[in-house]
Amino acid sequence: MMNRLTPYDEAQALVAAVRVHEFTKKASPSFKEVAEILEMTTDWVSRVCAELTGKEILDLVEGPFQTTCIVIVDHLAVESLPRKARENRMEEELKKFKEKTAGVYEQKAKAIQEEQKKKEKDLFNDIASKFKSELNKSS
């Protein structure tokens, strides 16, 4: 499996595989058939098909026996896709998570420290008041 394909490369490969299958088998291919041609996973094919369907490059048609067939709608639209590799999805998600949680841990630590100080102060005040009441009793 190739790593770091650009959206353009993914679309070109997928559209080419659909065309090869249509030419050789005279029928629209399923995810599995395209995956076999490209030696990729059906999950990869499904993800790319979903993206290309959203861009109206492909269409997914329910075929016989509960299969989904891939049909090319506008092969020229592939030319408008980005030719730069996307960031690694895991890196993107980590970056978003770090941005989202920035400062959260510091805020929690500060809140815990403040709560601890308050508890200590309350305890000190409680002990001081008991001490004063004991002093008043003994006088």
Instruction: List, for residues 72-82, the tens digit of each pLDDT value.
Output: 999 999 999 98
Q: Which two tokens stand for residue 15?
A: 């559209």
Amino acid 95: pLDDT = 80
Q: What is the mean pLDDT of the chain?
A: 89
Q: Calculate the dihedral angle through the C-alpha atoms of 36, 40, 41, 45, rounding to the nearest 10 degrees.
A: -90
Q: What is the pLDDT of residue 115?
A: 94
Q: In whole angstroms, give the CA distance from residue 107 to residue 120.
A: 20
Q: What is the pLDDT of residues 21-69, one digit of tens each?
A: 999 999 999 999 999 999 999 999 999 999 999 999 999 999 777 889 9
pLDDT at 112 over 50: yes
- Looking at residue 138, its amino acid is S
pLDDT at 98: 80
Is the pLDDT higher at 113 or at 85?
Answer: 113
Predicted confidence (pLDDT) at residue 131 exceeds the cutoff of 90: no
Whether residue 87 has pLDDT greater than 90: no
Helical spans, DSSP H, in 1-139: 7-25, 31-38, 42-54, 89-101, 104-138
Please answer whether residues 34 and 18 qualify as being in contact, where contact means their C-beta atoms are separated by less than 8 angstroms: yes
Q: In this structure, which CATH number among 1.10.287.1080, 1.10.3710.10, 3.40.50.720, 1.10.10.10 belongs to the domain 7-86?
A: 1.10.10.10
Please provide the DSSP assignment of 58-79 as one string. EEEEE-GGG-EEEEES-GGGGG
- Rounded Cα distance between 97 and 121, Å, is 37
Do the beta carbons of residue 21 and residue 14 sit within 8 Å?
no
